[in-house]
Amino acid sequence: MRRKDLVIVGNGNAACRLLDELMSRGARDRYDITVFGEERGGAYNRVLLSKVLAGEAPDSIVTKPPAWYERNGVRLVSGTSVARIDTASRAVVAADGARQRYDVAVLATGSQPLVPPLEGMTTSEGDLRPGVFVYRTMDDCVRMRGCARAGDNAIVVGGGLLGLEAAKVLSDMGLHVTVIHVAKSLMNAQLDQMGGDMLEQHIERCGIFVRTGRTVEAICGEEAVEGCRLDDGSVLPADMVVLACGVRPRVDVARASNLPINKGIVVNDTMATQVPGIYAIGECAEHRGRLYGIVTPIWEQAAVLADVLTGANPQARYRGTKLYTRLKVAGVDVTSMGSTEPELESDDVLQVVETRKSTYRKLILRDGRLLGAQFVGNTAAAATLVQLFDRNDPLPADPLEALCPGGGAGPAAQAERVVCTCHKVSEATLREAIEGGACSLEAACAATKAGTGCGSCRGEVAQLVARHAPSPEVAGGRAVAVG
Amino acid sequence: MAPRSSLRLKIVTSETTTHTHCPYCAFQCGVVMTDRADHAGVIDVRPDDDFPVNRGQMCIKGFTSAALLDHPERLTVPKIRGRAGRLLPARWDTALDFVAERLLRLRELHGPAALAAFGSGALTNEKTYLLGKFARLALQSPNVDYNGRYCMSSAAAGQNKAFGIDRGLPFPVSDIAHTKALLLWGANCAETLPPIMQWIFAQRDNGGALIVVDPRRTDTARAAALHLQPTPGSDLALANGLLYLALEEKLIDTAYIAARTDGFDDLRRAVLSYHPAHVERLTGVSTQDQLKAVRLLAEAPSSMLLSGRGPEQQSKGADTVLSFINLMLALGKVGKPYSGYGCLTGQGNGQGGREHGQKADQLPGYRHIEDAEHRAAIARVWGIDPAELPAKGKSAYELLDALGPEGGIRALLVFGSNVAVASPNALNVERRLASLDLLVVCDAFVNETARDAHVLLPVAQFAEEEGTMTNLEGRVILRQKVRPAPPEVKTDIEIFCELARRLGAGRHFQYTSAEQVFDELRRATAGARADYSGITYDKIRRNRGVFWPCPSVEHPGTPRLFAERFHHPNGRARFHAVHHRPAAELPDDAYPFYFTTGRYKEHYNSGAQTRRVSKLEEAKPEPKVEVHPRLAARLGVVEGDSLLVESRRGAVTFRVAVVPSIRPDTLFAPFHWGGRKAANVLTVPALDPTSRMPEFKVCAVRARRVSESN
């Protein structure tokens, strides 16, 4: 049987995960695989870009070096953008006109940064002027790092996840960093006003200045960047400006190929577009009206598509993923899932605010289930809650319990618990014996027979002795022996 | 075999005492059994104070093990199913002739692959070895496998890939007491290996930290300083997440990685996608706890990770074990004093059982049946042409699933395994067993598997014959004969010889003692991975066991592996980039809960033995399903209610135990019971692609309260 041609357009996180999923299902037996990557080199993990900005070697975040493709029999065409897909003759057409035949094409073109049209932002050729950066690619990070010097002033436009991450790294490098955010509070897509305010306190404690409710109107300076003019007329000196104003799905290839597009490339539950043989996954794909920019949905989509394309499970379907965001820059923990505000009259809200620690925890409940949650400064319960949220499982009758992980295992009926299973000795029996004077391990074992069978409970008996033996005064001044 | 008492000056006229081993788990506690000279009385069983593994401790199963010997339900004569469907006593010759005739006829009609044998991790090394030889030379079939496939196969596959050798623990169990950080992953040894707890408590007393990873807050977890309670089936993601953090926190040992391992770069890149936020979502374990665990492991001067069946009995079990080994290698621990990865083997001879050729893909000495050199080596010892050795056969569940006219296997001989209870999707296995043209069960009791048997052959028990076992440390020990078997009972070795003769392969089966078989096993394993050639019965007696590999009679054995080199040809360990994948079946709207299985301290495996011991039966008379109080409220059940638990494969009604120690999204039940109480009616027969281990530990169920009368 002839092997079919599978072409993946894009070489980011989604393409990378799809390759892993395809390989683990033996896809090489069915397909000759070609990957087009716009950036040079292999795939890297974009989520970890801040490491490169912070000075780690670019290779440290490379997930698939070119050698990987060679070893796995995958053709990598890197440093090449794709212009369009010729759906009539079934060929992927590169920007340089080269054509690659396909039976199956997967668009994994990801997102591109939103760049607001600021005065003085671009050169006469339309490129970003030197000193102005977006924060999206490995090259962006390498260039930014080359430009940033301790003592310089940096302005980060945008107080979302990426903006704060970039601000923190630059601040750690010794720059004076100001974050300008258009909304009234930081991370307003994921946090309510109170959460955003708490986050701002943490961010400012890191040494970063925050101006919310402000926009940048112009970038000033003759040659080099000298500053930013804000909408209140004030001018802040700056040696570099980082634009982190959000992303939008990259749909240029899809548009040029006449694929149906809404906000993103429209796909169904098998990740297929309307055009036979063409699929889309990752940040560029719009599934049931939603776009995703985080890891979990990308993994799920890649697994479904690999199942379908290899026939490993032709019935595999992607049903959507709930929203879950995590900001983790050193010293500041933020987690958000689902809605940020109640939506119905009947929705319930539980908030815990610790003013001195600037921590904030909020649960939004509907019928005893989680509609949304936010954590700033204390995210210990997030891991448990996100699973309840994902599965729409009920919370404890008192939702406060859900904020105390590990607190579920209460002491109910503890005394009746059998400590020594060989001789069926309960904790209550042991306690009685210990309080009655059997206040060493040996004495307690002798009195109750506990620990004289297999011996595996002796450690526990010793703990009970330590806990329940009468204090030395009562026991005649002798120290309590603990085995 | 010399009873120890004869060496003492004590005047004993009416008793003999013998040092031997417990019949149950892989800990193989040393025991001292006392028998009346006329073998008429109840035997006393005490733990052996001097045996260096259990050091005078033993669990309740061992204390009560003698009850099996004089048990009234014991099978003491061969039985053949008569025309009316009832099992009738028969003479040995009649029974063996009947079996042999049928086997020959079925082989003539359907070919040798229509005959199959199924072994057990409870068989001695000698029987294991002979079963493999019997299947290949007497049955001439490729189809032989054993229940160890359900037990150790994932850990074995992982260790072989990473280290080039598979020994459960690469160090004596006593090393546990000296490690500064001990991580028990999905191993509830307080219930499954109670006497091992003395080493774990000693570890704590020596200032070590204990970490337990388990979806249940088990008795073992209660003893831990840190307990991580992940979602069933997410262990691999958690291990990769720990390695991600180790990389981020610069906790890995780059000098060790450079000097002793291969393949780290690929692994490092693969692990980059296990960001803690993502791992939290998959596992439910907070980043804080992930960090605590990996710091403890990395920063302690010595640390161990020991896994149990929890992470191994999954359809990604072998990869999960590799993720553990990756972690310990990256932290530079494997092969250092009191450090490394190990697996806590389950069955009595789970270790030896996987080394000597009762696996579909293996020949004695851990040789591979598809390797021409390995085939030639065994053919030489057996005096045959290598071409006469059949190829690789079907793995355990696949073999059982191929029973009957549809699957093509028409005759099955079962030795020491209760497959009807121990297999996943148990109802299917029951149907398959019932469709056989010939089912022969060799056992001491009529277990669930024997229900549809055509012939039952009664065999000797642990105290009635001798033979070697290999315990969880890789220590080869000797079970001694305490008393003779009942008159009409034979040993498995005798049955192999008698049947082989009737099948025309008698010249390959000329043994009059277990020791003779062992001597042949020594020759067969010489130069192989699991080299037993330097071990003798006498040496075992003198040294209280000998650790393999032991390549010559002068060699002292090998208590510790990997200090100098690993067992791949270049001496280095190999990293393997492994990825999380979901369990074969996850909860959904129709079947909204996880279901997982495990054990009680009082019972062993399918319960075929322990359910017959009155003390154990009284202590744990039935399986209970564990339900979190919150889930219990949701289901409207209280302690003691009956809960009908259903999966896509079947339904079981359990009595409810409401416990806060289990995750609120998970139900747990032990698998020791058969019939209508069999937890494995629910489990899913998804298999690991490498080890062929079934996914006992994760499936999806629904549940509802039912009234008593149901």
Q: Are residues B371 and B512 in the same domain?
A: yes
Is A252 buried (19+), middle (13-18) or exposed (0-12) by CB count in 10 A? middle
Q: What number of CA atoms fall less than 13 Å from residue B126's CA on the CB side?
A: 26
A453:B60 CB<8 A: yes
How many domains are contained in chain B? 4
| DSSP H or E segment with residue B479 | strand B475-479
At A406 the pLDDT is 55
Pairing of strands B30-36, B15-21: antiparallel
A-chain CB neighbours of B275 within 8 Å are 47-48, 295
Block residue for tokens 């219930």: B191
Residue A385: closest C-alpha in chain B: B284
In a domain, B557, yes or no: no
B581:A422 CB<8 A: no
At A460 the pLDDT is 79
Q: Are residues B375 and B485 in the same domain?
A: yes
At B8 the pLDDT is 45
Q: What are A16's two structure tokens?
A: 């990378």
Would you list the DSSP string of B161-229? HHHSS--S-SS-GGGGGG-SEEEEES--HHHHSGGGHHHHHHHHHTT-EEEEE-SB--HHHHT-SEEE-
pLDDT in tens, B276-290: 989 999 999 999 999
B581:A303 CB<8 A: yes
Q: Are residues B227 and B146 in the same domain?
A: no
At B710 the pLDDT is 45
Residue A131's contacts (CB-CB under 8 Å, 6 or more residues apart) are: A147, A221, A224, A225, A239, A240, A241
Partner residue opposite B231 with nearest CB, options A381, A382, A387: A387
Pairing of strands B593-598, B666-670: parallel
**Phi, psi at A177, each rounded to 5°:** -115, 135
Segments of chain B scoring below 50 in pLDDT:
1-12, 710
Is B206 in CB contact (< 8 Å) with chain A? no
**Where does a domain end: B12, B39, B68?**
B68
Interface of B with A in 121-180 (CB under 8 A): none
Residue A473's contacts (CB-CB under 8 Å, 6 or more residues apart) are: none
Q: Are residues B216 and B252 in the same domain?
A: yes
Mark B481-512 as b/e (b = at least 16 C-beta within 10 Å): bbbebbeebbbbbbbbbbbbbbbebeebbebe
Under DSSP, the state recorded for B114 is G
Helices (H) and strands (E) in chain B, counts: 24, 30
Neighbours of B108 (CB within 10 A): 10
B57:A295 CB<8 A: no
Contact A380, B286 (CB under 8 A): yes
Partner residue opposite A380 with nearest CB, options B222, B284, B288: B288
pLDDT in tens, B472-502: 999 999 999 999 999 999 999 999 999 999 9
Q: Are residues B608 and B642 in the same domain?
A: yes
CATH number for the domain that contains residue B52: 3.30.200.210
Interface of A with B in 434-453 (CB under 8 A): 453
CATH number for the domain that contains residue B372: 3.40.50.740
Q: Which residues pair with B81 in a beta bridge?
A: B87
As a dihedral over the C-alpha atoms of residue B643, residue B647, residue B651, residue B653, rounded to 10 degrees, the angle is -20
In a domain, B468, yes or no: yes
Q: Are residues B61 and B91 in the same domain?
A: no
Is A258 in CB contact (< 8 Å) with chain B? no
Residue B199: closest C-alpha in chain A: A456
Q: What are B424's two structure tokens?
A: 């996943």
Of B443, B178, B460, the residue nearest B303 (C-alpha): B178
Interface of B with A in 490-519 (CB under 8 A): none
In a domain, B73, yes or no: no
- Superfamily of A4-112+248-310 according to CATH: FAD/NAD(P)-binding domain (3.50.50.60)
As a dihedral over the C-alpha atoms of residue B158, residue B161, residue B164, residue B168, rounded to 10 degrees, the angle is 0
3-state secondary structure A231-287: CCCCEEECCEEEECCCEEECCHHHHHCCCCECCCEEECCCCECCCCCEEECHHHEEE
Of A305, A327, A326, the residue nearest A316 (C-alpha): A305
B281:A383 CB<8 A: yes
Residue A316's contacts (CB-CB under 8 Å, 6 or more residues apart) are: A270, A303, A304, A307, A308
| DSSP H or E segment with residue B290 | helix B287-299
Block residue for tokens 């930013």: A228
Three-state DSSP state, A119: strand
Partner residue opposite B665 with nearest CB, options A391, A454, A455: A391
Partner residue opposite A412 with nearest CB, options B57, B217, B660: B660
Chain B nearest CA to A104, separation (Å): 24
Question: Mutating which of B247, B280, B292, B702 best tests the A interface, going by the most A Cβ atoms within 10 A?
Answer: B280
Three-state DSSP state, A83: strand
Query: Which stretches of A75-187 are DSSP H helices?
Result: 138-147, 161-172
Three-state DSSP state, B687: strand
At A12 the pLDDT is 95
Q: What number of CA atoms fall less than 13 Å from residue B29's CA on the CB side?
A: 31
Q: What are A78's two structure tokens?
A: 């890197």
Q: Are residues B167 and B299 in the same domain?
A: yes
Three-state DSSP state, B144: strand
Contact A402, A383 (CB under 8 A): no
Write the CA distances from B564 to B305, B329, B481, B555, B561, integer angstroms: 20, 14, 39, 17, 8
Could you give the CA distance from residue B63 to residue B44 in angstroms, rounded to a whole number?
8
A-chain CB neighbours of B628 within 8 Å are 408
pLDDT in tens, A15-41: 999 999 999 999 999 999 999 999 999
A-chain CB neighbours of B269 within 8 Å are 62-65, 68
Residue length, chain B? Answer: 710
Contact B321, B311 (CB under 8 A): yes
A390:B281 CB<8 A: yes
Segments of A355-440 assigned E as strands: 359-366, 369-376, 418-420, 425-426
pLDDT in tens, A228-245: 999 999 999 999 999 999
Question: Mutating which of A422, A456, A460, A463 best tests the B interface, going by the most B Cβ atoms within 10 A?
Answer: A456
B57:A412 CB<8 A: no
B-chain CB neighbours of A295 within 8 Å are 273, 275, 277-278
Write the CA distances from B161 to A114, A235, B164, B325, B340, integer angstroms: 47, 63, 6, 10, 16
pLDDT in tens, A195-219: 999 999 999 999 999 999 999 999 9
Q: Are residues B381 and B500 in the same domain?
A: yes
CB pairs under 8 A between A and B: 129
Is B198 in CB contact (< 8 Å) with chain A? yes
pLDDT in tens, A101-127: 999 999 999 999 999 999 999 888 888
Band of residue A477 on the pLDDT scale cut at 50, 70, 90 = very low
The CATH number of domain A132-245, selected from 3.40.50.720, 1.10.10.10, 3.50.50.60, 3.40.50.150: 3.50.50.60
Could you give the CA distance from residue B64 to residue B77 in angstroms, rounded to a whole number?
24
Is omega for the bond preceding A249 within 30 degrees of 0, making it cis?
A: no
Of residues A47 and B334, more confidence is placed in: B334
Partner residue opposite B634 with nearest CB, options A62, A394, A459: A394
Could you give the CA distance from residue B440 to residue A54 in angstroms, rounded to a whole number?
69
In a domain, B83, yes or no: yes
Residue A266's contacts (CB-CB under 8 Å, 6 or more residues apart) are: A259, A260, A273, A274, A286
Of A233, A232, A245, A238, the residue nearest A220 (C-alpha): A238
Of B615, B46, B630, the residue nearest A454 (C-alpha): B46
In a domain, B575, yes or no: no
Pairing of strands A227-230, B261-262: unpaired
Task: Report which residue type is found at A333.
Answer: D
Show the CA angle centred on residue B219, arms to residues A479 and B237, nearest 5°: 125
A459:B222 CB<8 A: no
Neighbours of B575 (CB within 10 A): 24
CATH number of A414-468: 1.10.10.1100
Could you give the CA distance from residue A355 to residue A361 in angstroms, rounded to a whole number?
11
As a dihedral over the C-alpha atoms of residue B160, residue B164, residue B166, residue B167, rounded to 10 degrees, the angle is -150
Q: Are residues B272 and B365 in the same domain?
A: no
In a domain, B565, yes or no: no
Is B231 in CB contact (< 8 Å) with chain A? yes
Chain A nearest CA to B231, separation (Å): 9
Is B555 in CB contact (< 8 Å) with chain A? no
State the ipTM, two decimals.
0.85
Is the pLDDT reported for residue A449 higher than 90?
Answer: no
Show the CA angle centred on residue B7, arms to residues B4 and B10, nearest 5°: 100
- Radius of gyration for the alpha carbons in chain B, expressed in angstroms and rounded: 24
Q: Are residues B218 and B317 in the same domain?
A: yes
At B10 the pLDDT is 47
B-chain CB neighbours of A409 within 8 Å are 217, 660-661
B579:A20 CB<8 A: yes
- Do A414-468 and A132-245 fall under one CATH topology? no
Q: Are residues B15 and B91 in the same domain?
A: no
Chain A nearest CA to B630, separation (Å): 7
Contact A350, A336 (CB under 8 A): no
- Domain residues for the domain of B389 are 79-150+349-547
Neighbours of A454 (CB within 10 A): 28
| DSSP H or E segment with residue B96 | helix B92-110
In a domain, B322, yes or no: yes
B664:A408 CB<8 A: yes
Contact A369, A360 (CB under 8 A): no
- Domain ranges within chain A, ordered by starting residue: 4-112+248-310, 132-245, 339-403, 414-468
Is A326 in CB contact (< 8 Å) with chain B? yes
Q: Are residues B424 and B541 in the same domain?
A: yes
Q: What are B156's two structure tokens?
A: 């074995």
In a domain, B461, yes or no: yes
A326:B277 CB<8 A: yes
Of A15, A17, A5, the residue nearest A37 (C-alpha): A15
Is A383 in CB contact (< 8 Å) with chain B? yes
